Amino acid sequence: MAEDLDGWGLQFLGAARTVTGSKTLVDAGGTRVLIDCGLFQGLKELRQRNWEDLPVDPSTIDHVVLTHAHIDHTGYLPRLAAQGFKGTVWTTPATRELCELMLLDSAHLQEEEAEYANRKGYSKHHPALPLYRVVDAERALTHFKTVAFGAPTKLSDSVSLAFHRAGHILGSAIVELVVSRNGDARRLVFSGDLGRYDSFLMKDPEQVPPGADYLVVESTYGNREHADVDPHAFFAELIHSIVQSRGVLLVPAFAVGRTQEVLLLLKEGMKNGSMPRVPVHLDSPMAIDATEIYCRHTDEQRVSHLHMDGKGCKFFFGELEVHSTVEESKRLGRLTGPRVIISASGMATGGRILHHLRNRLPDARNVVVFVGFQAPGTRGRTLVDGKDTVRMFGEEIPVHAKVAKIDALSAHADRSELLRWTATAGQKGPRRTFLNHGEPEAAESMARLHREQRGWDTHVPDHLERVPLF
């Protein structure tokens, strides 16, 4: 069980020296708040943590506060609810809408993958079981309450909450908690996943809330900069190449955020003539629904023309076909190029993209392009690392297709952008800054930069490490 540190402390239950499984526990004198509730992904030893009991009884957690809807920040919620969590889950309105899609989809995938493993007999477990079921996701969603950006909300006598725009994906928030004890207060700020400045789609992240005592900052790209690549020219070159080879361009993309940016790029490129007009297929029911949610929440987005009108959502365009059913998805596998197929998941950890990869990777005419961070241990990381085969569905699939990667569409702030954001806390800085949600080298690099350039007290926490608040 979590040590209570006199009832006032922080404990890092996930995303410590790794980029997934985000969970940070705040003990505030009888009020227990969990910031994010994500799934571990990637390496087997990390994924195994999803099956282990939390070091704190879920029934003792009063509140969960979500920074955004991505599964590595929300995907453990159904299991938490199944294990006895009865508190409130606080989100922004858009995050609530997206979580309904993503948690139900995650649960469906858990059930489908367990059923497929049992049918094909390739699991080491007999029978293979899902981590959680659809009924657990439905139960978790009944705990949600929404709060608008900038609206202070009292969680208890000792804790108040406010959300500030993070610019990572729709609904993403910087979390500000004020914890009070006997007239003394501590202001805790959690960056969540921080968006980029001058993003193609999302507005800039807001500043660090004034007076932060403790700052918990992501460090996904804490030791590197995004390459200065024009994504329009990059995609134009790829599409010209598949027109010449009569191949297929596969885009594994997160259903939320990255898919919408790719759609806008393709729409603009085919409209202005910089990209050949080829069929584009969006093969992800969740991405289709998420795109419609983006059309309903335009206030966080930079592009003013995204509003719905009489002709429908502006992300959709003439060359685009959407595919909701399994039968439609299977038919895509029989179509020849040139064409573009966008499907989830973005790291190729599950979803329909796996079937497309199995079908298209052995053909040298095809191209696979990854448009986001690929965590260690994922199939996406295996492919961008240039391996000759990748394992899926219990077999090794040969890789003859070209594999490309572009960081210019990343929704994560890079090193310079992280430093730009933390600088808004002032030169003196917080009492202490914690770097999480990054691989060890990235987190340590960001911690060192803050110490050397600003003299800040910085620390990279270990998994399950506890620190006092007062």
Residue 424: CB atoms within 10 Å:
13
* Alpha helix segments (H runs only) across 29-170: 44-47, 71-74, 77-82, 93-120, 134-141
- The whole-angstrom separation of Cα 381 and Cα 300 is 30
In the DSSP assignment, the letter for residue 435 is: E
Average pLDDT in the 163-169 region?
97
**Cα 192 to Cα 190: distance, rounded to the nearest angstrom:** 6
Is residue 215's pLDDT more than 80? yes
Quick one: CA torsion of 14, 17, 18, 19, rounded to 10 degrees?
80
pTM of the predicted structure, to 2 decimals: 0.88
Place of tokens 């080829």: 278
* Range 85-90 average pLDDT: 98
Quick one: tokens of 160?
Answer: 């108040």
Q: How far apart are CA 36 and CA 274, in angstroms?
A: 41
> Is pLDDT above 70 for 122?
no
Predicted confidence band at 304 (pLDDT cuts at 50, 70, 90)? low
Q: Residues 6 or more apart from 92 whose CB is under 8 A from it?
A: 146, 147, 148, 149, 163, 171, 172, 173
Asked if residue 77 lies in contact with residue 110, where contact means CB atoms within 8 angstroms, the answer is no
pLDDT greater than 80 at residue 268: yes
| Tens digit of each residue's pLDDT (9 = 90 or more) over 63-75 | 999 999 999 999 9
Dig out the tokens for 427 from the structure: 């030169």
User: Which residue in 161, 107, 110, 180 sits closest to 139, CA to CA?
Assistant: 107
Query: Three-state SS for 54?
Result: coil
* Res. 350 pLDDT band, cuts 50 70 90: confident
Q: Between β-strands 153-154 and 280-282, what pairing exists: parallel, antiparallel or unpaired?
A: unpaired
Please state the separation of Cα 67 from the chain's center in Å.
10
pLDDT for the residue 296: 87
pLDDT tens-digit map of 45-54: 999 999 999 9
Cα separation, 434 vs 47, whole angstroms: 23
